[in-house]
Chains A and B, each alone.
Chain A
Amino acid sequence: MLSYSIKRVLMLIPVLLGMTLIVFAIIHAIPGNPALTILGTKATPEAIQNLNRSLGLDQPWYIQYFTYLKHILSGDLGTSIQTNTPIANQIWPHLAATIELSFVAMIIAVVVGINAGIISAWKKNSVLDYTAMIVALIGVSMPIFWLGLLEQWAFSVKLNWLPSIGRMDIISNVQPITNLYLIDTLLEGQLDQFWMVLRHLILPSIALATIPTAIIARMTRSSMLEVLKSDYIRTAKAKGQRMFWIVYKYALKNAFIPILTVIGLQTGLLLGGAILTETIFGWPGIGLYIYNAIQYRDYPVIQSGILVIAFIFVMVNFIVDLLYGLIDPRIKYR
């Protein structure tokens, strides 16, 4: 297992390197000039030229790429063109916001999705099954921005139960330690603030969880259906085992490998795909950070932001690969 892990980590290098090249190529292919976007229509053409020069954007693309690569390899994520501040200082608060949101969304998706899938498989072709699968179908096809606005309208504006925007009350003073506010408020021992942060998480995390919940539910259903047909389940039934234990203990364990794969993929997708949720809920996450950078053609931020997300995506899937062995002892790593 150790040698496998080392091998996998080494394989990350070409993957990430390829990633930098692709990202670099794409952002330089989109039209638009950062200097012009930063300075706006008010700037003189000369000022734009000057800024282009001081940003190194007048260099040929391969020189720009290698300069960028050199910096990345020495651990320097670069400096934002727009704000002229080091990206390394800015990226963590944004990333932490997204991680917190995605984590809560993923918990919802896993708990709700797996249970819905199990019930559907267990009560195949029942009203319960049809309801769950129709809801899942709607979930997959739901536009998140629309769902988000609807949630805000219902639970904030009309019912006044939950806050509609932000990570916390705007004038509250949660002290960032890790920038994961659920943890920070606990570290500070501020239970009321923890509660307040949690309340802010509810609407956006439900919006973000919709699609993964639906996908996990559908995957769980099909995987469970397969397993429930197998001989050892019939034997267990014949022995008079309680159906609940058969489903949750024996069947789920064997059905879990494909579900885990989907969970891994979805977690990675959430990190990069939270942008719509972040826009609607005024959530200062990495998606919003990169989105702004794209609008400003802030090349270093786009590059480093996507690189960090790609890295996390690859790492999550690496962890999932390792988990396979824990769940199914028949899987051996070489």
Chain B
Amino acid sequence: MRKKYLVLTLTLIVALAMALTGCASGGSSGSSSSAAGKTLIFGRGADTTSLDPAAVTDGESFRVTQNVFDTLVSYDYSKQSTNVIPSLATSWTITNGGKTYTFKLRKGVKFQDGTDFNAQAVVFNFDRWMNGKASGQFAYFPSMFGGYKGDPGLVIQNVTASDANTVVFDLTRPSAPFLKNLAMSPFAISSPAAIKKYGKNYGTTAAVGTGAYVFKSWKRNDTITLTKNKSYWKSGFPKLDTLVFKVIPDNSARLNALKNGEIDMMDGVNPSDVSGLKGNNQLQVYYRPPMNVAYLGFNVTMKPFDNPKVRQALNMAVDKQGIIKAFYNGQAQAATNPMPPSLLGYDNSITPYPYDLTAAKKLLADAGYPNGFSTTLYTMANPRDYMPEPQNVAQSIQSTFGKIGVKVNIVTVEWSSYIDKLMKGGIPMYIMGWTGDNGDPDNFLYTLLDKDSIGSNNFSFYSNDQLHNILISAQSQTNDAQRVALYNQAQVILHNDAPWVPLVYAKPVLVGKSTITGYKPSPTGTEPFENISIK
């Protein structure tokens, strides 16, 4: 009978083995200083799609390519603004009534494969993108520049190298957002030699730019490793030796990994976890300046939302402050206009609709709905940067609408099907949002609410000719003061017509170790890591 304890021992051995492996070499993988030099590990929710910046549209791809590549001109990342400053181009002149841009390029810059960066390389890259129509590749290019070669909308007539260090862009018409578009990470300059050498595999096995870091390795759904570009043209930069991007899909698990010191920095923090970080002197919290808007949209072609009074009434029945407090941990700004305040031409003089249920009910009665009505509200299942808890926000709207007699039935749709559904129409009311691409007001007002955008991002099917004329003339206006005046007019129209309830401008949260210095999150959603260092 004595040996019956053997059974127990067996189980105990297993347990002990577990415990021992744990104690054997306790502590976690320190990351900041090691054989690899100064290393920073950035934890994120999803993997990169491709390392060829022109071939992708997702932020997780740009987060990496931004460090490998440079653009002709750059946003002023150190000031966290979307103003344009020199980068690969040192200066430029605008002539011919805003139709000719002449760029002087930085001399002596080399791609990471040793080939020269020059005007020919710039022309090669633009030719490659403009000819992307057949392959369906480079989708971002036509959305920002109006089309591929041969399309009537394409704003670039031709790109020529007038000498080794001068590039001339001839445009078909003046284009106000042109410089800002050039600063966008998809339009970074790749090494022509590398593109030819790797062919179809460019962006998968190789990515060669002029940027601060060199692409080293990519384990799918796991890590991407970049190393310092020792011959980077900005002397003294970058400050890190190695930069690693690690995929950890779950937000809470990622935070656990950060607290355990396995990663140094992360984005995608649940707003509800932020308050738990206060008082933790190992970590610091960053807020990205908002360049987004989350909104509740109405399909203005469907009853009763074809009546502006109904839309105005519902604008008074959303408790934005309550939503911000409950689902953004207070870290968002209540939205008044369809574009965020940091953008050129934001109209401060517009008074937001107050949260006033009595007034809302009265207006609804004026519109012919004294007893309210029933409708359906669609929302996405997946959290977005501008909307961390879409279903809870939908419920909050449902509850306040209920108080003025509007009965709301909520339908939740998974993200990949959601956009498809919204584009097809037939959805009375929906929760959506937009993160800006280039920091230009055109990228919000025209892209989201112009009649030209019906069928793509104008999910409200809102069509207003007066607005259209204003937005079109603002596009070709290069004088800032006049653009401001035009966009102010546009915002007044949109405020009165109320195709949306603008909800919030969200400030996405990032957390990093307190030993990190020099990090400034950019409103564009991604930023180069050349200034960042870690003790």
Pick the residue among A43, A152, A291 that contacts B256 (CB under 8 A): A152
Interchain CB contact under 8 A, A166 and B200: no
Interchain CB contact under 8 A, A244 and B3: yes
A43 to B31, CA, bound (A): 39
A232 within 8 A of partner (CB): no
A247 to B58, CA, bound (A): 60
Within 8 A of A (CB), among B32-78: 34, 36, 39, 41, 43, 46-47, 49-50, 57-58
Interchain CB contact under 8 A, A156 and B34: no
Interchain CB contact under 8 A, B11 and A116: yes
Pick the residue among A38, A122, A157, A282 that contacts B247 (CB under 8 A): A282
Interchain CB contact under 8 A, A172 and B29: yes
A171 to B36, CA, bound (A): 8
Interchain CB contact under 8 A, B256 and A170: no
Within 8 A of A (CB), among B134-153: 134-136, 139-140, 142-143, 147, 151
B356 within 8 A of partner (CB): no
Interchain CB contact under 8 A, B139 and A51: yes
Interchain CB contact under 8 A, A202 and B18: yes
Set of chain A residues within 8 Å of B260, measured between Cβ atoms: 152, 156-157, 160, 163-164
A119 within 8 A of partner (CB): yes
Interchain CB contact under 8 A, B248 and A165: yes
**Nearest-CB distance from B245 to chain A (Å)?**
10
Set of chain B residues within 8 Å of A282, measured between Cβ atoms: 43, 222, 246-250, 253-254, 257
Pick the residue among A94, A161, A169 that contacts B22 (CB under 8 A): A161
Q: Of B413-421, B477-485, B527-535, which stretch is located at the interface? A: B413-421
From B22, which residue of chain A is reached at the shortest CB distance? A161
User: Interface centre among A161, A280, A296, by most B CB within 10 Å?
Assistant: A161
**Nearest-CB distance from B185 to chain A (Å)?**
12
From B29, which residue of chain A is reached at the shortest CB distance? A169
A156 to B242, CA, bound (A): 25
The interface bits of chain A over 149-164 (1 if a CB of B lies within 8 angstroms of the residue's CB, else 0) are: 1001101110111111
Interchain CB contact under 8 A, A160 and B27: yes
12 more contacts with CB within 8 A, not counting A47-B143, A83-B49, are: A30-B417, A31-B421, A32-B420, A41-B457, A116-B11, A156-B260, A164-B262, A171-B29, A171-B34, A284-B220, A291-B249, A295-B415
**Nearest-CB distance from A240 to chain B (Å)?**
12
B451 within 8 A of partner (CB): no
Set of chain B residues within 8 Å of A164, measured between Cβ atoms: 253, 256-257, 260, 262
A82 within 8 A of partner (CB): yes
**Nearest-CB distance from A8 to chain B (Å)?**
34
Set of chain A residues within 8 Å of B279, measured between Cβ atoms: none
Interchain CB contact under 8 A, A40 and B7: no
Within 8 A of B (CB), among A109-151: 111-112, 115-116, 118-119, 122, 145, 148-149
**Nearest-CB distance from B253 to chain A (Å)?**
5
**Nearest-CB distance from B93 to chain A (Å)?**
30
Interchain CB contact under 8 A, B10 and A39: no
Pick the residue among B6, B50, B220, B420 that contacts A36 (CB under 8 A): B420
Interchain CB contact under 8 A, B257 and A165: yes
Q: A171-B36, A284-B220 are in contact. Are A32 and B204 (CB under 8 A)?
A: no
**Nearest-CB distance from B444 to chain A (Å)?**
13
From B1, which residue of chain A is reached at the shortest CB distance? A243
A230 within 8 A of partner (CB): no
From A37, which residue of chain B is reached at the shortest CB distance? B416
A10 to B262, CA, bound (A): 48
Interchain CB contact under 8 A, A118 and B7: yes
A180 to B182, CA, bound (A): 44
User: Interface centre among B39, B256, B419, B437, by most A CB within 10 Å?
Assistant: B256
Interchain CB contact under 8 A, A170 and B246: yes
Supply 28 A–B pairs (Cβ within 8 Å), ascending by A: A32-B414, A32-B416, A33-B420, A37-B416, A41-B457, A42-B143, A47-B142, A83-B50, A83-B220, A111-B14, A119-B11, A149-B252, A156-B257, A156-B262, A160-B260, A162-B22, A165-B262, A167-B222, A170-B246, A171-B29, A171-B39, A171-B41, A199-B25, A244-B4, A282-B246, A288-B249, A289-B220, A291-B249
Which residues of B pack against A, CB within 8 Å?
1, 3-4, 6-8, 10-11, 14, 18, 21-29, 31, 34, 36, 39, 41, 43, 46-47, 49-50, 57-58, 133-136, 139-140, 142-143, 147, 151, 200-201, 204, 219-223, 242, 244, 246-250, 252-254, 256-257, 259-260, 262-263, 414-417, 419-421, 423, 434, 437, 455-457
A108 within 8 A of partner (CB): yes
A118 to B252, CA, bound (A): 38
Pick the residue among B43, B142, B247, B456 that contacts A284 (CB under 8 A): B247
Pick the residue among B136, B246, B250, B455 that contacts A45 (CB under 8 A): B455
Q: How large is the interface on A (under 10, 10 to 19, 20 to 34, 35 or more residues)?
A: 35 or more
A42 to B244, CA, bound (A): 27
Pick the residue among A32, A42, A112, A160 that contacts B139 (CB under 8 A): A42
From A172, which residue of chain B is reached at the shortest CB distance? B29
Set of chain A residues within 8 Å of B244, measured between Cβ atoms: 170-171
A141 to B32, CA, bound (A): 40
Interchain CB contact under 8 A, A292 and B221: yes
The interface bits of chain A over 248-269 (1 if a CB of B lies within 8 angstroms of the residue's CB, else 0) are: 0000000000000000000000
**Nearest-CB distance from B52 to chain A (Å)?**
10
A115 to B414, CA, bound (A): 43
A53 within 8 A of partner (CB): yes
Pick the residue among A145, A166, A244, A289 that contacts B246 (CB under 8 A): A166
**Nearest-CB distance from A187 to chain B (Å)?**
19
Interchain CB contact under 8 A, B57 and A112: no
A3 within 8 A of partner (CB): no
A46 within 8 A of partner (CB): yes
**Nearest-CB distance from B415 to chain A (Å)?**
7
Set of chain A residues within 8 Å of B46, measured between Cβ atoms: 292
Pick the residue among B3, B10, B254, B415 that contacts A242 (CB under 8 A): B3
A244 to B1, CA, bound (A): 8
Interchain CB contact under 8 A, B416 and A296: yes
A67 within 8 A of partner (CB): no
**Nearest-CB distance from A193 to chain B (Å)?**
12
Set of chain A residues within 8 Å of B204, measured between Cβ atoms: 83-85
A215 within 8 A of partner (CB): no
A297 within 8 A of partner (CB): yes
Interchain CB contact under 8 A, B22 and A199: yes
Set of chain B residues within 8 Å of A244, measured between Cβ atoms: 3-4, 6-7
A46 to B154, CA, bound (A): 13
Set of chain B residues within 8 Å of A289, measured between Cβ atoms: 220-221
Set of chain B residues within 8 Å of A161, measured between Cβ atoms: 22-23, 26
**Nearest-CB distance from A121 to chain B (Å)?**
11
Set of chain B residues within 8 Å of A74, measured between Cβ atoms: none
Set of chain A residues within 8 Å of B143, measured between Cβ atoms: 42-44, 47
Pick the residue among A35, A44, A198, A243 that contacts B456 (CB under 8 A): A44
**Nearest-CB distance from A203 to chain B (Å)?**
9
A24 within 8 A of partner (CB): no
Give me the 10 closest cross-chain CB pairs, A-B, nearest first: A50-B136, A282-B248, A169-B29, A161-B22, A284-B222, A51-B136, A152-B256, A32-B417, A284-B221, A156-B260
A93 within 8 A of partner (CB): yes
Set of chain B residues within 8 Å of A313, measured between Cβ atoms: none
Pick the residue among A47, A149, A166 that contacts B262 (CB under 8 A): A166
Set of chain B residues within 8 Å of A77, measured between Cβ atoms: none
Interchain CB contact under 8 A, B31 and A171: yes
User: Interface centre among A167, A169, A296, by most B CB within 10 Å?
Assistant: A169
From A276, which residue of chain B is reached at the shortest CB distance? B250
A206 within 8 A of partner (CB): yes
A61 within 8 A of partner (CB): no
